[in-house]
Chain A
């Protein structure tokens, strides 16, 4: 494990009490606002000293009873919610801020500029950038400091939904850099596209943690994830591009049709299918406008406090969640082991819920 955190910190209204290890890939911290996510990142970055505990990275103790490595020596990248570009420097000078401090050249500059699509912005001043552009520059600036770990604090939350969707593909490409990333967010759509691991937080504590596929397909976590945010992740590959406005994708349990995705056959995709968009039929339905009817087996049922229940179904190695009323479940006799058909409208799968990789 690369990063080891075990800290307590009093934040007034709540106490941050976190203990976890994070490895390679993207670890997302998801929870409501005001639950201590930002404070956690600040403690890891060395911007805020926890009351007690320990923070270690690989074999190095960063914070402990007798240790507190200052921020500038931790060599972590930090992308803030607001881009925090230096207004007196242009984009190029912002990008090379860290190498300039060390009096070094920035051999990675061209590659990072290319990765984040910044060529045409290099000579601009930050005040002439849009929110999305500024945030891309901030990400590039952090990357060019050659961090051992990248901390991202809701980097998209200050952007409108359209800009957010513009920048997500860049973040997906960022994953290919192989840098471990801690990603804080209260937007499940982002988390579902980027995360390898999820840590669910509430009231300063970890409530659940695990691989993204497990957490998002767990029907018992619906309430914490948000009833309208709940949806399992399906791993698939592009299989057909018939040119009729649809794209065919193949996953372990069969085939699905989506609104056209601009990707070559074989491209791996991960898509989130919201539980509220999945219908269940106990007979094979015919004469539907919906494009996708998948035979599945009910594996778990979770009854919450509300009028709905969440049904987990499996097909191949992949799971789907469906949220239906308790009344429907009773009427149809839904129970674990039952063979059912899941019905998904193609158009219910938003482009922003279809990610690469």
Chain B
């Protein structure tokens, strides 16, 4: 494995870990959020909608700074988390997960919400008359029908997390081995004389990972659409 040096491997491994964990943690939240926005009418719905979309329109550096203001070690919530459960987010890879997750969240919610809005509530009604409880309606009818949207949301969120730079570097800085993800590493390499080689290799790696993610999601969506006889 001489093509990539140990620092590059470290950055790539960290990036994959951060993006994976961020997708895993934020997708369920995105589903709940999308469901609330698509199906429920409640006070503050507009506010929630705006809040979810905020990371999409705010400069990423500002998002990172806001995270620092809330979750920094001297900030109220950050201090509380450290005292209560010993969780330190700022300048740690777990903080990178938070930053990446929040930046990808609007994309995840949008994808799930769009597919939820495409599910005809009449079908859920039909399931109900056939004896399905609310939970059964969800996992027998609604969930399988939004699965392609869910996969699309997860891939978008994963890709966004993988490429997230501004909020990450602001919130958790660029510490080799701790918080140096691929984009941060590329940025760092480009500051050094002779760093173009590793930077290009990492850029190619990003491309490879992104393409694989898209291909995997295509495969999953195809499979869930399924052949006529596919057992479920």
Contacts and interface: CB of A to CB of B under 8 A. Distances in A.
B140 A123 contact: no
A54 B197 CA distance: 79
Q: Mostly helix, strand, loop or mixed at chain B's interface? A: helix
A101 interface: yes
B36 to A, nearest CB: 22
A100 B125 CA distance: 17
Given A87-B145, A90-B228, A80 B122 contact: yes
B129 to A, nearest CB: 4
B127 interface: yes
Nearest to A93: B232
Given A101-B136, A124-B228, A125-B228, A86 B131 contact: no
B128 interface: yes
Contact of B140 (A76, A80, A90, A101): A101
- Return the 6 tightest CB-CB contacts between A and B, nearest first: A84-B126, A78-B129, A98-B130, A88-B144, A71-B128, A123-B228
Interface string A111-124: 00000000000011
A50 interface: no
Interface of A: 45-47, 70-78, 80, 82, 84, 86-90, 93, 97-98, 100-102, 123-125, 128, 141-142, 145
Given A86-B141, A87-B145, A72 B126 contact: no
Interface in B96-144: 120, 122-123, 125-133, 136, 140-141, 144
How many interface residues does chain B have, given as a range?
Answer: 20 to 34
Contact of B130 (A46, A124, A128, A141): A141
Nearest to A88: B144
Contacts of A76: 129
B99 to A, nearest CB: 36
A349 to B, nearest CB: 38
B228 to A, nearest CB: 5
A97 B228 CA distance: 16
B141 A82 contact: no
A86 B127 contact: yes
A263 B62 CA distance: 82
A84 B131 contact: no
Contact of B127 (A75, A97, A123): A97
A93 B228 CA distance: 11
Most chain B Cβ neighbours within 10 Å, of A73, A77, A89, A141: A89
